[in-house]
Amino acid sequence: MLTSVVLLTIDGRGSGPLSSVRSAAMSVLSPVGDLASTIFSPVRNAWSGAFTQDDLAKENERLQEENDRLKGELTTSVVSKEQLQQLLQLVGIPFVGDTPVVHTRVVSGTVGNFGETVELDKGSSSGIEKNMPVITGEGLIGKVVQVSDNRSVVALITGGSFNVNFNVVGTPAIGTAQGTGSATILRGGSIDVRQSISPGQIVVTSGLLGSPFPPNLPIGTITALRTDEAARETSVDITMFANTRDLTYADVVLWKPVG
């Protein structure tokens, strides 16, 4: 092998009498070179992997951080959009007519508003009083039950702590609705069995004498009904228009019952 290397060096230009000798030497050495490459290839790969593995881990961490950041930006965008929609819904609400309202922000409540009360950032200094109705742009959500100078506590209608008198739009049917503990469903009862009502009809506050709610505040739609012939009354399930979960803004209607 040493002789072959010497000969190859002397005849480096590839011509002359040593050319054939060099070709023979290369034929002899070629399998040796291939064998050495095969033997040392795993070592070379392992050596390369030892240095690139850390780089791959760092790149993976960077990509994960970027992914988390983009998710956070998307969540923030969705939250901001929902808050803006809630705020816009409180501008020029038609169903309150000329009755003044106080725009408020929800400052505390149970997680996701899964509970019976929420707290607003305004109180008696803004004209808010106990028993005043509280609405969103979609309809009734509750009434004020506690007031301080700069805070108000609202009992949500879904909690079932009070009743709401209603009438079914387009009919003389009236009844009383109460929360069931569900975030969306109220139970309505005391409807005269002789009144013809059906699923899909709209339910609004009746504004009966002495009621804490003015007439025609939207409540929801009838989604199911049951008739008790013995009691001569019909009960209904009402799916609310307003969403009482994750409230950000609400309006207090400055309305006092007559009588």
Q: Report d(CA 244, CA 241) in Å as an integer.
A: 10
Please check the confidence at residue 47 and state whether its pLDDT lies above 70. Answer: no
Residues 36 and 148 in one domain: no
Burial of 123 (0-12, 13-18, 19+ CB in 10 A): buried
The average confidence (pLDDT) of the chain is 79
pLDDT of residue 178: 95
Residues 48 and 129 in one domain: no
Structural domains counted in the chain: 2
Residues 246 and 128 in one domain: yes
pTM for this model (two decimals): 0.66
User: At 124, which CATH number?
Assistant: 2.40.10.340
pLDDT in tens, 89-126: 665 678 888 899 999 999 986 444 457 899 999 999 99
Flag whether 79 is in a domain: no
Flag whether 68 is in a domain: no
Please check the confidence at residue 175 and state whether its pLDDT lies above 70. Answer: yes
Kindly report the number of other CB atoms within 10 A of residue 90's CB atom.
Answer: 16
Flag whether 21 is in a domain: yes
pLDDT in tens, 13-22: 544 554 554 4
Q: Lowest mean pLDDT: which of 93-97, 153-157, 160-164, 238-242?
A: 93-97
Flag whether 108 is in a domain: yes
Flag whether 78 is in a domain: no
Hey, what are 142's tokens? Answer: 């509750």
Q: Characterize the bridge pairing of strands 152-156 and 117-120.
A: antiparallel
The domain of 32 spans: 2-57
Residues 38 and 98 in one domain: no
pLDDT in tens, 32-45: 455 445 554 554 55
Instruction: Look at residue 77 and give its three-state secondary structure.
Output: helix
pLDDT of residue 257: 81
Q: Which among 182, 146, 147, 142 is positioned nearest to 162, based on CA atoms? A: 142
Residues 50 and 147 in one domain: no
pLDDT of residue 250: 94
